[in-house]
Amino acid sequence: MLGAHAIEVGPLGMLAINISLLTLVGWALLRAERGLPDGREWTLLAMLAIFGIFGRVLLEPLPNIQPVTVLVLLVGVHMGAKRSIALAAVIALGSNMLMGHGLWTLYQALGWSLVGCLGAFAATRLNTLPRIAGAAALCGFLFDWVISLSILHTLGPSMLPAYIIAGIPYDLLHAMGNLFFAAWLASPLADIINRHQVVTLEAPENVPVTV
Length reported for the chain: 211
User: For residue 198, what pLDDT is reported?
Assistant: 63
Mean of pLDDT values over 102-117: 94
**Cβ–Cβ contacts within 10 Å for residue 24, how many?**
11
DSSP letters spanning 57-116: HHTTTSTT--SHHHHHHHHHHHH-HHHHHHHHHHHHHHHHHHH--SHHHHHHHHHHHHHH
- Cα-Cα-Cα-Cα dihedral sign, residues 91, 191, 133, 183: positive
Specify whether the CB–CB gap between 206 and 101 falls below 8 A: no
User: For residue 68, what pLDDT is reported?
Assistant: 95
User: For residue 134, what pLDDT is reported?
Assistant: 95
Specify whether the CB–CB gap between 63 and 173 falls below 8 A: yes
pLDDT digits (tens, 9 = 90+) for 66-101: 999 999 999 999 999 999 999 999 999 999 998 888
Amino acid at 77: V
Write down the CATH number for the domain with range 11-196.
Answer: 1.10.1760.20
User: For residue 205, what pLDDT is reported?
Assistant: 52
pTM summary value: 0.86
- Comparison of pLDDT for 13 and 1, the residue scoring more: 13
- Comparison of pLDDT for 195 and 92, the residue scoring more: 92
User: For residue 43, what pLDDT is reported?
Assistant: 86
What are the phi and psi torsion angles at 210 (to 5°)?
-115, 150
DSSP letters spanning 149-194: GGGGGTS-GGGHHHHHHHTHHHHHHHHHHHHHHHHHHHHHHHHHHH
How far apart, in whole angstroms, are the C-alpha atoms of residue 112 and residue 69? 6
Is residue 11 predicted with pLDDT exceeding 80?
no
Domain ranges of the chain: 11-196
- Comparison of pLDDT for 192 and 114, the residue scoring more: 114
pLDDT digits (tens, 9 = 90+) for 165-174: 998 999 999 9
User: For residue 211, what pLDDT is reported?
Assistant: 54
Average confidence score pLDDT of the chain: 86
What single-letter DSSP state applies at residue 210? B
